[in-house]
């Protein structure tokens, strides 16, 4: 958008507003000037945060502090913007929460771009993931594979298709199930987790890179009450994700399309 505005609107004065925080719809309890406090992730936080969450679909109405137990985020390109706000909100609430200190949040981000140089706020994403103490897991999807020196990134090659989305959910479920099994002393399990055979992710096979799945072999994952799926990106990608989630058994109350 910035490139388009720069080329088409030379000499024209415009106003830009945003990005918006997930708590922007709140009626604050007071209007005192915000205070900056240092946290482990070094993010300024305001003392004007409300004492309880709103009924916004981005915030969990069944939680005192508005956090979801599991938050799945699927985005492409500039669609990362609202996800950054969601990530920041949950990380800050996790560090501040007193009433629900024992409740843990897990966030999973599937972020698609053409190539690694197109990733927006890559430094912030790395810092959030590093400082989250395992709360945040990021998987990138690139149409053009990154150079060898970027091997530290967890990425898939292709585009955000139905197959990749379903495999992403399946891998998360398998990983969490294995972790739960290791924690249980009553279960007999191998101390070494055996990875699944390599999965051949589909390459971009059409101009839109969209593959529709009429029926899904993967069931839905997560509790409807404490799980949310947020989607933001190009229109074609969002339509594909919506269809995939429907095929997997998710209702419209369990996911939100950020347009």
Q: Distance between CA 234 and CA 77 in Å, rounded?
A: 8
DSSP state of 32: P
Is 1 annotated in some ligand binding site? yes
**6 is written with which tokens?**
């720069």
Q: Which helix (H) or strand (E) holds 137?
A: strand 136-142
Angle separating helix axes 162-183 and 235-247, nearest 10 degrees: 50
Q: Distance between CA 162 and CA 216 in Å, rounded?
A: 9
Residues 96 and 67: beta-carbon distance below 8 Å: no
Is 213 annotated in some ligand binding site? no
Count the neighbouring beta carbons within 10 Å of the beta carbon of residue 82.
Answer: 22
Which residues define the annotated binding site for FAD?
1-2
Which residues define the annotated binding site?
1-2
């Amino acid at each position: 958008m910035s490139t388009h505005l720069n080329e088409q609107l030379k000499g024209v004065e415009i106003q830009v507003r945003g990005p918006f925080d997930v708590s922007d719809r709140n009626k604050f309890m007071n209007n005192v000037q915000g205070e900056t406090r240092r946290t482990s992730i070094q993010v300024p936080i305001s003392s004007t945060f409300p004492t309880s969450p709103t009924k916004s679909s981005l915030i969990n109405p069944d939680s005192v502090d508005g956090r979801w137990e599991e938050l799945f985020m699927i985005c492409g390109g500039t669609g990362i913007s609202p996800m950054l706000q969601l990530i920041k909100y949950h990380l800050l609430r996790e560090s501040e929460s007193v009433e629900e200190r024992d409740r843990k949040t897990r966030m999973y981000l599937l972020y698609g771009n053409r190539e690694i140089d197109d990733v927006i706020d890559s430094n912030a994403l790395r810092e959030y993931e590093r400082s989250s103490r395992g709360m945040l897991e990021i998987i990138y999807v690139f149409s053009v594979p990154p150079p060898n020196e970027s091997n530290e990134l967890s990425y898939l090659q292709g585009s955000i298709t139905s197959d990749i989305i379903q495999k992403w959910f399946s891998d998360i479920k398998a990983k969490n199930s294995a972790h739960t099994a290791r924690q249980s002393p009553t279960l007999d399990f191998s101390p070494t987790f055996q990875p699944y055979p390599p999965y051949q992710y589909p390459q971009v096979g059409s101009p839109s890179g969209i593959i529709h799945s009429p029926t899904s072999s993967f069931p839905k994952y997560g509790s409807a009450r404490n799980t949310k799926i947020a989607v933001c990106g190009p229109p074609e990608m969002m339509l594909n994700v919506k269809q995939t989630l429907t095929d997997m058994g998710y209702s419209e109350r369990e996911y939100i399309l950020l347009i």
